[in-house]
Every structure is written in structure tokens, then in C-alpha cells.
Amino acid sequence: MTWGQLVMNVAELLRLLKHALNLMTKDYIFDDFSIVMIDTIIDAAHHEVVAYMGMILILTAFFLETRDILDSKASVYLQLMALGSGLLAIRAYLIDEWAFFILEIAWFTAALLGLMSLSKIND
């Protein structure tokens, strides 16, 4: 290897390193951060805590409604149902429980539609 080839290779190497650093700061760092955040959220959703939270929200709404503390068309009741069934739908999707997923999507949709009708009445 001649001195000229070595100098040219060092210059080329520096150019490539500078280009790689620009690419890393633009793409990889932020993409990796996004991927880590998404993976963290999905891992959290796989935990049974999410399922228990959804179950507790739905059962709380049901218990309060059957004791005449809440009306089934009350905003709080519908919010509890929407949040609880939404959490359970996410959990069902992640564990491939398709019948349960469809059921929870139906409950979630019904609760959202109820909330939307309440907001139209209040407007």
C-alpha cells in the first residue's frame, strides 16, 4: 500500500464515519427509541395487570349499576365500561383470543356510542 492510497483511505474512512454519524442521529437513535417505547407498551399490555384493571373497571361499573348508584346511561358508567373493555380488547388481541376480542370490541363500541349520544344531548 502506498502513502497516497493510505491517505485516500483515511479521508474516505472519515467521510464514511461522518456520514454514518449523521444517519445514526437522524434515523437510528429516534427509531430505536420509538421501537423501545412500543415494545415497552406491548410488554406492559401482555401482563395480566392490564386484564385485571379492565376487569375491575367493568365489574365496578356493573356493581354500581346493579346497586342503583349509577345509571347504565350515565357518563361515568359508560366511561368505566369503555376503558375496561378497551383494556380487555387490547389484552385479548395480544394473546390471540379472537372471540373475546370481538366481544370486548362490541362492548367498547357500545359504550363509546352511548357517550357520543350523551354528548349530543348535552350540546
- Quick check: 88 and 104 in contact, CB under 8 A? yes
In a shared domain, residues 54 and 38: no
**C-alpha cell at position 72:** 347504565
Instruction: Check: pTM over 0.75? Answer yes or no.
Output: no
In a shared domain, residues 32 and 60: no
Which residues, at least 6 apart from 65, have a Cβ–Cβ distance to it below 8 Å? 71, 72, 77
In a shared domain, residues 2 and 60: no
Tally of domains in the chain? 2
In a shared domain, residues 87 and 34: no
Which domain, by its residues, includes 79? 47-123
- Quick check: 77 and 67 in contact, CB under 8 A? no
Per-residue pLDDT of the chain (123 residues; tens, 9 = 90+): 454 554 456 666 566 656 665 555 554 445 556 667 777 777 776 678 888 999 999 999 999 999 999 999 999 999 999 999 999 998 898 888 999 999 999 999 999 999 999 988 876
